[in-house]
Structure 1
């Protein structure tokens, strides 16, 4: 009887050891599979529709790589300030040469890391039914048609500064009315629905070029050059999170893809994360190339 009891106890002991070993191995495998990193990557997010798709895609990819991701909402000037201090690590929607002034100011701590997409058109726009207004010169002497107002985005934006400089350079009797992107478009849409004259700030990628029949005014003084959109990062990111930096330094996306996603988010009211995940799943080869897999 004693031998039987001893044998049962020995068997239970072996089973217990094996179970613990199995649990430890399973937990170890789980940790290895997730490759969780004790690092947080913070994205600066401006109040522009063009910022959302690339930020959501990059955030999901970095989360899949094991990073914790946070978003900080701010105007572009504050985003660059945050990048310079290290409070923000990444900004996916920097427009060059428009934002070069910010990069030059913080060149010791902020890096131009990748070109997201080139040839993004930007400038003052009017409805196409204004057939006689095709350039900045055409506005001279006709400012009262527009109630002497041009509608733009927020006060801290580089585009606002450039618009004010353009008003002065062309000698226009026009007031720049700063607002949020949504406020600007609401005012423009209200006037266009009545086929009234209106000038406002426009850029691609944006649903406005899908939704409205508008044109960019030409100018011969070098304002609002065709832009390229860049990824900028805090310079410490390369050392602090090299895998994240490698991915971001290889980042690129087409302007058409961004515009298509903006339509889904803004016009079709789809969830931004779901739209971003759909793009990732449809472009896995490109993601693998950017992450170095």
Structure 2
């Protein structure tokens, strides 16, 4: 496991549970595209919009035969420590560069990243979590940023188990603790995921019978690998999106009480004027859709130690696109949704 996951755990997950009831992100009717073949419309990031009601790819259009924009130099911002941020940015870079663009990816913490977009120094960040995690930045900079669709709508905190284990719900762990060694493996003590599990899920479902082992993300993943390799039952705290869902045979436990919080939605935010300057690139942003399977497999190739381990990310994306030969064509054609 790389530092990216550790940083994300302490930052994104902590932010994601400020209200402990995260919801999803922006209205289907207002994803930023007209849907009428005239290209994307510049829609500003109104803090009061219905962020939780967005359908990825809702305003997709076919740009297969559209020529590249006159302005082919594009800068994408990716958030330090957020694996899906680099996955989306490098994937976008690969597809844009196929069409003759020159794409630069710069890494930032979330605050400087949104500031850079608002100031016009960065063209796009593809990792805006709404309506909770990045709400403050949208409230501050919304009148200087365009919204160009959402591409993932299942970002959430979870408790996961191996696929063939008996528990179906978090509530089952109360009576099935023996099946899991009476242990729930967690991550860093300062993570929002840890706080939510300890202060919400455990008391809500009466899981005091479990030994909640708070340690680190690498230790949790090592235990997950050890158990699934051995065919043993295991319960861990996890989050989506994460490459573990592709690397290991795991599934989420149902959370009928909503103790782990709801799902957020990931949006594309661009500088003011981006749609006018780069209509094709803006439409490609609106076309992008990544489901759990695609995103987990992409992140697995890019970040797991068994693959590229967070190194040579462009090469990793090229390998993933080769293994998923229809993805880029479907993206340009607006057929990912």
- TM-score, scaled relative to structure 1: 0.61
Give the match's secondary structure for 1:107.
Answer: helix
Q: Which has the higher contact order (CA 8 A, sep 6+)?
A: 2
- Distance change (3 Å), C-alpha of 1:211 and 1:252: closer
Give the match's secondary structure for 2:295.
Answer: helix
| Cα distance between partner residues in 1 of 2:189 and 2:149 | 26
Give the match's secondary structure for 1:42.
Answer: strand
Whether the 8 Å contact between 1:56 and 1:272 is mirrored in structure 2 is no
Whether the 8 Å contact between 2:152 and 2:291 is mirrored in structure 1 is yes
Is the aligned partner of 1:250 residue 2:287?
Answer: yes
- Distance change (3 Å), C-alpha of 1:47 and 1:34: closer
Q: 5+ residue gaps in structure 2?
A: 1-67
| Matching residue within 205, 217, 224 for 1:170 | 205
| Cα distance between partner residues in 2 of 1:224 and 1:215 | 15
Q: 5+ residue gaps in structure 1?
A: 1-32
- Distance change (3 Å), C-alpha of 1:187 and 1:60: same
- 1:5 corresponds in structure 2 to none
| Matching residue within 205, 219, 231 for 2:267 | 231
Deviation at 1:237, TM superposition (A): 6.5
Is the aligned partner of 1:275 residue 2:319?
Answer: yes
| Cα distance between partner residues in 2 of 1:67 and 1:161 | 42
| Cα distance between partner residues in 2 of 1:34 and 1:237 | 13
| Cα distance between partner residues in 1 of 2:230 and 2:331 | 45
| Matching residue within 236, 247, 251 for 1:215 | 251
Mapping 1:182-201, distance limit 5 Å: 182-194=218-230, 198-201=234-237
| Matching residue within 74, 91, 115 for 1:85 | 115
Deviation at 1:211, TM superposition (A): 4.5
- Distance change (3 Å), C-alpha of 1:247 and 1:68: same
Deviation at 1:57, TM superposition (A): 1.4
Whether the 8 Å contact between 1:115 and 1:228 is mirrored in structure 2 is no
Is the aligned partner of 1:107 residue 2:143?
Answer: no
Residue deviations 1:132-190 (CA, integer Å, cap 9, x gap): x332223337768656543247945x54454343234335435462534x443112222
Query: Quick check: which has more Rg, 1 or 2?
Result: 1
Give the match's secondary structure for 1:70.
Answer: strand
- Number of equivalences: 247
Please, which moves more after superposition, 140-149 or 205-214?
Answer: 140-149
Is the aligned partner of 1:55 residue 2:89?
Answer: yes
Higher helix share: 1
- Distance change (3 Å), C-alpha of 1:55 and 1:135: same
Is the aligned partner of 1:42 residue 2:77?
Answer: yes
Give the match's secondary structure for 1:134.
Answer: coil
| Cα distance between partner residues in 1 of 2:212 and 2:226 | 19
- Report the RMSD for the aligned CA atoms in angstroms: 4.3
| Cα distance between partner residues in 2 of 1:234 and 1:34 | 16
Deviation at 1:125, TM superposition (A): 1.0
Mapping 1:152-167, distance limit 5 Å: 152=187, 155-156=190-191, 159-164=193-198, 165-167=200-202
